[in-house]
């Protein structure tokens, strides 16, 4: 009986934490210089760099995208909300790729990611987090999770959960 109560308490705490993160949004920082900002995963912090391989086996670094806004999305092939937002992400990428880069970090590369990408006609870059280090660095607990990163590498916003095309447009403003 005590074990059930403890498990229920832990589960309730996790649910409250997820709800809090879903609605917790920090607005864009006031003109913070990237060179003076600390590295971390909070708004106004410099996004931690990573190097991951894309589907072609080429190494990609987040720093390669400095000078361009980035939508950094963490997802998995088995995740229903991730699957739900993929068509909107593809539409957004096709229409906005001159202004915004999408980097979709897959967290289950042991599954057939290439087949998933082909089946869904995805053209934005897919990166594979083989060892889970990037997931750990960005403290990804729930997926999909998306970070909006500005041209200097500063994190502007974090969104947990599936997004619509309109939400993507709003987040990128």
pLDDT per position as a tens digit, 43-89: 999 999 999 999 999 999 999 999 999 999 999 999 999 999 999 99
Beta strands in 14-122 (DSSP E): 51-54, 59-61, 69-75, 100-106
Structural element, H or E, at residue 148: strand 145-149
Q: Is 120 helix (H, G, I), strand (E, B) or coil?
A: coil
User: Across residues 99-118, what is the average pLDDT?
Assistant: 96
Catalogue all structural domains in the chain, each as residue range(s) with its CATH number: 28-171 (3.40.30.10)
Cα–Cα separations (whole angstroms), residue 137 to 40, 47, 49, 67, 74: 9, 10, 9, 22, 12
Q: Are residues 13 and 6 in contact, defined by beta-carbon separation less than 8 angstroms? A: no
pTM: 0.79
């Amino acid at each position: 009986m005590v074990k059930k109560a403890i498990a229920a308490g832990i589960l309730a705490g996790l649910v409250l934490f997820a709800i809090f993160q879903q609605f917790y949004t920090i607005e864009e920082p006031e003109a913070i210089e990237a060179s003076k900002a600390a590295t971390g995963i909070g708004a106004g912090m410099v996004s931690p760099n990573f190097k991951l391989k894309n589907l072609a086996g080429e190494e990609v670094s987040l720093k390669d995208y400095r000078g361009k806004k980035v939508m950094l999305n963490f997802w998995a092939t088995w995740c229903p909300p991730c699957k739900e937002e993929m068509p909107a992400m593809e539409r957004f990428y096709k229409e906005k790729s001159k202004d915004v880069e999408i980097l979709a970090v897959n967290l289950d590369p042991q599954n057939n990611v290439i087949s998933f990408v082909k089946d869904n006609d995805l053209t934005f870059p897919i990166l594979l987090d083989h060892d889970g280090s990037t997931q750990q660095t960005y403290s990804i607990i729930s997926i999909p999770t998306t970070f909006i990163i500005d041209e200097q590498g500063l994190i502007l916003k974090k969104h947990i959960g599936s997004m619509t095309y309109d939400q993507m447009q709003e987040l990128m403003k």
